Amino acid sequence: MNPAASVLTVPDDKKCKTIDVNPLMTREEFDFMSLVSDIKFVPLQTTSASKIGRPDRVIVTESHIYISDPKALFIFDNVGRFVRKIPYSTSRPHDFSFDGRYGEIMLCADGEVMHYSADGEFKWSDPFPFRFQSISASSDMLIVHCDSNSQNTHLPVGVAASPALIINRKGRLVRHLAPLVSHTPKLRGLRRLQPSAEGVVMSHSFCDTLFYIVDDEIWARYVLDYSSNRFLDPALPNSERESTGIYYYAGDAIGCQGGVFFMLRSDRAKMFRGFYDARTGNVAGGVMPIADYCQMPPIYRPMTSIGDNYVALFHPYQTESGATFRFTGDKVAEAEKDKLDGVRHDDNPVVVFFRIHVN
């Protein structure tokens, strides 16, 4: 018997909120600095063992900070002390998630899920009968993301083409998501599953709907309306596209308690950054975020969230070689500035927590 399928459509109910981005699409600049408050820093300890390469995934819990690069997963405690490094055993892409219910890290590669304690001690591994690229936990189930490179040809056709599968903890397939969205001409690849305080965010390139998985159910939470500048046909060859400032959604979204960050991309290599504040119902954004970066770090692209805080990385290599960096002005509290004393340009990134409020 095939598992049940959930078709991705936009429900006609009040749970799905339309974010009207149209009034902002002509803005090249926006006042980013006025949106940010409560900036807090956690410098990460730098040693030969803890030195992070190019970060590609960040997850923060109450007790730990997890950062991966293409070669390893690095674990720090909540004040930035290095705990452990988990090297990857193969060169194939890896992904990880944190399961708060069981207090464990799940590291996946080649269809295998390796379980570690919160401190990174290996517990056991589960080989699954299919391959996937991303994993997250929801309630007592696991959500895995598959794409065209997963090579799951042994699965039923409808399941093999599914962008995401919901499985139980023994690897048994419970439900798959049918690759259909009624309001977009063509569905492209699913980006990484992104945990947040309000559910696991699931979004697709060229699909303007942000789906949230809550208690093993899939809900359309937000629809991005930028019809005045929307790129309607992702299947159009590059030679037939006109560079007229039109945008498409590339699957970049970070959910936060009380809001969401999203990015739209243009064929002109521009990126529109948007912040929606569900508490006020307002949205702010534009192509060029304006701020005084002598007063605050360039944190306009968060990598994850925890509670109502967005989380970004500030890289000290953005300072001069040999210099100790210290922000001026009153945007950052003095106690937070003191945390950066001694941070050098070749040290690990500084984890930055901040809140967004759109009036």
Q: Indicate left, alpha or beta for 61 from its phi (over 0: left) and psi (-120 to 50: alpha).
A: beta
The pLDDT > 90 percentage for the chain reads: 44
Which pTM value belongs to this model?
0.88
Determine the average pLDDT of the residues in 53-75: 95
Q: Say which DSSP state 35 is in.
A: G
Q: What is the pLDDT of residue 9?
A: 43
Q: Report the pLDDT value the prediction gives residue 184, as an integer from 0 to 100.
A: 40
Concatenate the DSSP letters of all residues of 125-157 into one string.
Answer: EEE-SS--SEEEEETTEEEEE--GGG--TTS-H
Give DSSP secondary structure letters for 265-305.
EETTS-EEEEEEETTTTEEEEESEEE--TTTS----S--EE
Cβ contacts of residue 321 below 8 Å, gap of 6+? 345, 346
Q: Which of 28-42, 91-105, 217-231, 256-270 has the lowest mean pLDDT?
A: 217-231
pLDDT at site 160: 65
Q: How far apart are CA 228 and CA 242, in angstroms?
A: 15
For the four alpha carbons of 223, 224, 227 and 228, in that order, the dihedral sign comes to: positive
pLDDT recorded at residue 180: 42
Residue 63: pLDDT over 60: yes
Residue type, 317: Y
Mean pLDDT confidence for 166-174:
77
pLDDT of residue 60: 97
On average, the pLDDT of the chain sits at 82
Query: How many CA atoms within 13 Å lie on the side-chain side of 171?
Result: 13
Residue 273 Rama label (left phi>0; alpha psi -120 to 50; beta): beta
Q: What's the pLDDT at 99?
A: 92
More confident residue, 164 or 220: 220
Q: What is the distance of C-alpha 179 from the center of its chain? A: 21
Per-residue pLDDT of 288-299, as tens digits, reads 999 998 899 999
**Scanning the structure block, which residue is given the tokens 């093993």?**
216
Q: pLDDT tens across 95-133, in order? A: 899 998 899 999 988 778 899 999 999 999 988 777 777
- Distance CA(247)–CA(231), nearest Å, equals 5
Helix (H, G, I), strand (E, B) or coil at 23: helix
**pLDDT tier at 8, thresholds 50, 70, 90:** very low
Q: What is the pLDDT of residue 67?
A: 97
291-332 pLDDT, tens digit per residue, is 998 899 999 999 999 999 999 999 886 555 445 567 888 999
